[in-house]
Amino acid sequence: MKTLYRKFIIATLLILGISIIIAFILANWVYMTSTKGRIDRQNVIIAEEMASSLQQMHSTSHVSFVAYLDSVSKLGYQIYVLSESGEEFFFGEPFSKKNLPPEAMSVIKDKEIYHGMDLSNAGWMMMSHFSNQLDNTVGVPFTIADENFGLYLRPNNKLLFSDVHVIFAWFFVAVSIVSISGVIWFAKHLIKPITKLTEATREITRENFNFPLNIYRKDEIGQLAESFGIMQTQLQHNDEARKSFINNVSHDFQSPLMNIQGYAELLKTQKLDEEHLEYVEIIDQESKRLSNLTKQLLLLTSLDQKSYPMKLGVTRIDTQIKETVRRHQWRLEEKEIEISYQLPPSPIQADPELLMTVWDNLLTNAIKYNQNGGSIFIKITQNDDYTAIIFKDTGIGMTEEQASKVFERFYRVDAARKKDGTGLGLSIVKHIIELHDGTIEVESEIQMGTSFTIKLPIEKQTEE
């Protein structure tokens, strides 16, 4: 996943890169359309002045101009002289390529000026016109002792790229480094409060409304953080009001429900016809189901509000699971379910009452949604990091989408699962496991069964 920080940096670098490319193209266009011809004309003027000096100062012999051109070349020029007879003279830095094009020979034959720097076929990129080649020169004619010569000249690249240019190059590099570093720092500074807001949002999904933002800004992000804080406070107030309402209603329900159950049990002892006895049985079952729902709601709201008094102690989870199996033995025999387990001694520092709720819920589900004649397998394994407890059944199973929602409150997969269910059992299980710093995962396949895997960190373990 690409973060906003990375996107900001990439976008900035991309804009910088595109700007450099556009600037280079524009500079290249300006050079090729106007600057290149102007430089060519300037060098022609310099070459003509040299040729005029040669004709005036060395009119008798061409040998005498060698010292003059050698001294001129040291001022930052590369010079090539070609005589009518084919004699060649090179002054200054050597050329990388020494082949003259045919049109350059017109300087000697027809005494025409050669505009090689302006008419060069080196390409449309301006850097190619700084190439150190003999055809990338200007040529002018001159005559000494009735012999025609051609003087071909171009500035030495070392003169073009002087100390000033090096200083500007380092200046450009320094500005680029500082600019990019500044953009990275600014992006990090800009994204940091957004990252905090993201973390706060995740905490809200975990019903933690006290996550500190500590964002003190006066810009739009500061306004967003301030609004988020107001929302956080309001959500906390609403959540507390909701839990308080559920807690109070659940408490208030318990008393009339106990009365209804008591009178239903009393009616069962009376001589009633079969139809009325069936009605009494329904009243008794539904009141017990509603009573179980209110008890689960009370437990869940207590866990949510962290008001449940955790009583940590050394708990043998293997012993607890065996006790849970014995309590439900009659239900296992009723559905002819075969149960097997591998439960080595596994002491853990935990709340025994809460863990008993976990094992009871998992085993009850494994029995309730199993096939007649099916099987249940329970296993405990340990390694250096955690203790794993696995409950696996051969029941009706679930789809991947259904399995992803089983820990949601009041979620029940379908009508086949609604009998005697409240949709809160697995939500309570997950909450209890998280209170013990553990995790719970589910794997399921339709008509193949379901497997719950609980992992409790080894830090909670203790020797018996």
Q: Scan for tokens 């018996």, then name that residue.
A: 464
* 232 compared with 462, residue with greater pLDDT: 232
| Mean pLDDT along residues 428-449 | 88
| Reported confidence tier of residue 165, pLDDT bands at 50, 70, 90 | low
The mean predicted confidence, pLDDT, of the chain is 80
C-alpha to C-alpha distance for 427 and 419, rounded to whole angstroms: 17
| pTM of this structure | 0.47
- Kindly state the percentage of the chain with pLDDT values over 70: 81
Going from the C-alpha of 24 to that of each of 20, 29, 120, the distances in angstroms are 6, 8, 20
At 184 the pLDDT is 79
Question: At 362, phi and psi to the nearest 5?
Answer: -65, -45
DSSP helix, strand, coil percent of the chain (3-state; round to 5): 55, 15, 25
Is the model's pLDDT at 375 over the cut of 90?
A: yes
| Reported confidence tier of residue 452, pLDDT bands at 50, 70, 90 | very high
Cα of first residue to Cα of last residue in the chain, in angstroms, is 46
| Reported confidence tier of residue 376, pLDDT bands at 50, 70, 90 | very high
Length of the chain: 464
Is the model's pLDDT at 1 over the cut of 50?
A: no
| Mean pLDDT along residues 248-255 | 64
Structure-token pair, residue 122: 């080196």
Is the model's pLDDT at 461 over the cut of 60?
A: no
In the chain, the largest separation of any two C-alpha atoms, in whole Å, equals 152
At 440 the pLDDT is 92
Q: Which of 301, 355, 369, 356 has the alpha carbon at shortest distance from 326? A: 356
Contacts 24+ apart (CB under 8 A), 60-69: 60/144, 60/145, 61/144, 61/145, 62/144, 62/145, 62/147, 62/149, 65/144
- Kindly state the percentage of the chain with pLDDT values over 90: 10
* 165 compared with 17, residue with greater pLDDT: 17
| Mean pLDDT along residues 300-323 | 77
At 9 the pLDDT is 77
| Reported confidence tier of residue 246, pLDDT bands at 50, 70, 90 | low
* 414 compared with 430, residue with greater pLDDT: 430
* 224 compared with 413, residue with greater pLDDT: 224
CA dihedral for 193, 195, 197, 200, sign (positive or negative): negative
C-alpha to C-alpha distance for 233 and 238, rounded to whole angstroms: 9
Is the model's pLDDT at 231 over the cut of 80?
A: yes
C-alpha to C-alpha distance for 456 and 348, rounded to whole angstroms: 9
| Reported confidence tier of residue 421, pLDDT bands at 50, 70, 90 | low
The 10 Å Cβ neighbour count of residue 456 is: 24
* 168 compared with 237, residue with greater pLDDT: 237
Q: What is the pLDDT of residues 174-222, one digit of tens each?
A: 887 888 888 778 777 777 888 888 888 888 877 777 778 778 777 787 8
| Mean pLDDT along residues 421-434 | 81
Q: Scan for tokens 């193209």, then name that residue.
A: 25
C-alpha to C-alpha distance for 339 and 11, rounded to whole angstroms: 61
User: Following CA atoms 396, 426, 253, 356 in sequence, which dihedral angle do they give, to the nearest 10 degrees?
Assistant: 110
Q: Scan for tokens 């909670």, then name that residue.
A: 460
At 414 the pLDDT is 55
Is the model's pLDDT at 297 over the cut of 80?
A: no
At 305 the pLDDT is 60
Q: What is the pLDDT of residues 97-113, one digit of tens each?
A: 888 888 888 888 888 89
